Amino acid sequence: MVRVKICGITRADDARAAVDAGADAIGLVFAESPRRVTVDVARTIVATLPPFVVPVGVFTSTPIGEIREVARACRLRAVQVHRVLTPNDVTLLDLLYVLQACRIGSRADAESAARAIGDAVLLDAKAGDAEGGTGKTFDWSLVAGITFGKPIILAGGLTPTNVESAIRAVRPMAVDVSTSVEASPGRKSAPAMLDFVRRAKATH
């Protein structure tokens, strides 16, 4: 069964609704974004989660040492980093599950993503200079036939209406959604989250 991460959670109520919908992980954004949270808010949200729902911190240019401090303070269990990581970076993020986010706009981008460092690779759409959260999809056929050698998490413009096709095309371990399950930026829609999770987990 495909797992689901609901990203851009900014409120404890939305985290609880995501859990009730069946989400396996939630994303807490610490980068510049309408969905950005403070350490204090993130800590409050994480405290509401049951033990088997994974809190993931989302970072862009934050130094590795600071990522470690935030992860420790908020009791994160995974980090999603939107920049190229080195083996030393991953070593310094010990005890955390590391998702290397890669933006896909061409076959060359997909082939580069297959060499990414980390425990899993998150495939997002390349849209200008944005590091993610654009609500745009990429051409899923670009990753066809590429051996990644690690779990794939598919992101980028996923919605309740296209997630089934996306899963069948890419066969990821997990899917990541944010924009399409919002009532407004940073505020989630419980019905939309439930619809997305049900469709994703029912896809074979």
| Bridging pattern class, strands 54-59 and 25-29 | parallel
Strands (E), 46-181: 54-59, 78-81, 97-104, 120-125, 152-154, 174-177
Half-sphere exposure of 88 (CA within 13 A, CB side): 3
Q: Which of 14, 24, 124, 195 is catalytic?
A: 124
Annotation marks residue 124 as catalytic: yes
Token pair listed for 128: 């200008």
Annotation marks residue 7 as catalytic: yes
Residue 18 to residue 10: CA distance in whole angstroms: 12
Q: Which of 7, 74, 89, 102 is catalytic?
A: 7
Residue 197 to residue 159: CA distance in whole angstroms: 10
Q: Which residues are marked as active site?
A: 7, 124
